Structure 1
Amino acid sequence: MADRPLFVMTDPCCFDVSYRINPWMKPETWTAEQTAAACAASETLRGALEAEGARVETIGAVKGLPDLVFPANAAVVLDRKVLLARFRYPERQGEEAVFRAVFHRLKARGLVDEIHDLPDGLFHEGAGDAIWDRDRQLFWAGFGPRSSRGALPVLRKTFGQEIVPLELASDRFYHLDTCFCPLAGGKVLYYPPAFSPEAQATILSRVAEADRIVASDEEAAAFCVNAVNLGERVVMARPPQSLREKLQAHGYTVVAVDLDPFILSGGAAYCMTLRLDRASAPAASVLAAE
Structure 2
Amino acid sequence: MDRPFFLMTDPGCFDVSYRINPWMKPEVWGAEKAAAACAASTALREALEATGAHVETVGAVKGLPDLVFPANAAVVLDGKVLLARFRHPERQGEEPHFRAAFQRLKARGLVDEIVDLPEGLFHEGAGDAIWDADRRHFWCGYGPRSSQGALPAIRRTFGREIIPLELATDRFYHLDTCFCPLAGGKVLYYPPAFTAEARANIRAHVAEADRIEASDEEAAAFCVNAVNLGSRIIMARAPGSLREKLAAAGYALTEVDLAPFILSGGAAYCMTLRLDRRSVSAAQLHAAE
TM range (shorter): over 0.9
Q: Secondary structure at the match of 2:131?
A: strand
What residue in structure 2 maps to residue 235 of structure 1? 234
What residue in structure 2 maps to residue 132 of structure 1? 131
CA distance in structure 2 between the partners assigned to 1:252 and 1:25 by the alignment: 30
What residue in structure 2 maps to residue 95 of structure 1? 94
CA distance in structure 2 between the partners assigned to 1:137 and 1:5 by the alignment: 17
How much does 1:26 deviate?
A: 1.3
What residue in structure 1 maps to residue 69 of structure 2? 70
What residue in structure 2 maps to residue 166 of structure 1? 165
Which one-letter code corresponds to 1:37 in the other structure? A
How much does 1:29 deviate?
A: 1.4
CA distance in structure 2 between the partners assigned to 1:86 and 1:95 by the alignment: 9
What residue in structure 2 maps to residue 214 of structure 1? 213
How much does 1:286 deviate?
A: 11
> Bigger CA drift: 191-200 or 24-33?
24-33
Q: Trace 1:253-264 onto structure 2 (pairs within 5 A).
A: 253-264=252-263
How much does 1:281 deviate?
A: 1.4
Aligned-residue Cα RMSD (Å) equals 1.3
Q: Trace 1:21-170 onto structure 2 (pairs within 5 A).
A: 21-170=20-169
Which one-letter code corresponds to 2:146 in the other structure? S
How much does 1:285 deviate?
A: 10
Q: Deviations over 1:68-114 (max 9, x none)?
A: 00000000000000000000000000000000000000000000001
Q: Secondary structure at the match of 1:13?
A: helix
Which one-letter code corresponds to 1:137 in the other structure? R
Runs of 5+ unmatched residues, structure 2: none
List structure 1 runs of 4+ shifted beyond 3 angstroms: 282-287
Q: Trace 1:188-227 onto structure 2 (pairs within 5 A).
A: 188-227=187-226
Q: Deviations over 1:40-75 (max 9, x none)?
A: 000000000000110000000000000000000000
Q: Secondary structure at the match of 1:97?
A: helix
How much does 1:117 deviate?
A: 0.3
What residue in structure 2 maps to residue 9 of structure 1? 8
CA distance in structure 2 between the partners assigned to 1:145 and 1:99 by the alignment: 22
Which one-letter code corresponds to 1:272 in the other structure? M
How much does 1:284 deviate?
A: 8.3
How much does 1:4 deviate?
A: 1.0
Q: Deviations over 1:113-136 (max 9, x none)?
A: 010001110000000000000000
CA distance in structure 2 between the partners assigned to 1:286 and 1:265 by the alignment: 45
CA distance in structure 2 between the partners assigned to 1:207 and 1:277 by the alignment: 25
Runs of 5+ unmatched residues, structure 1: none
Which one-letter code corresponds to 1:73 in the other structure? N
Q: Higher helix proportion, which one?
A: 2
Which one-letter code corresponds to 2:165 in the other structure? L
Q: Deviations over 1:147-206 (max 9, x none)?
A: 000000000000000000000001110000000000000000000000000000000111
CA distance in structure 2 between the partners assigned to 1:262 and 1:116 by the alignment: 29
Which one-letter code corresponds to 1:87 in the other structure? F
Which one-letter code corresponds to 2:236 in the other structure? A
| Distance change >3 Å, CA 105–CA 286, structure 1 → 2 | closer
Q: Trace 1:241-252 onto structure 2 (pairs within 5 A).
A: 241-252=240-251
Which one-letter code corresponds to 2:19 in the other structure? R
| Distance change >3 Å, CA 286–CA 60, structure 1 → 2 | closer
- Across the two proteins, how many residue pairs are aligned to each other? 286
Identity of aligned residues (%): 78
CA distance in structure 1 between the partners assigned to 2:172 and 2:44 by the alignment: 22
CA distance in structure 2 between the partners assigned to 1:97 and 1:237 by the alignment: 29
Which one-letter code corresponds to 1:179 in the other structure? C
CA distance in structure 1 between the partners assigned to 2:286 and 2:37 by the alignment: 48
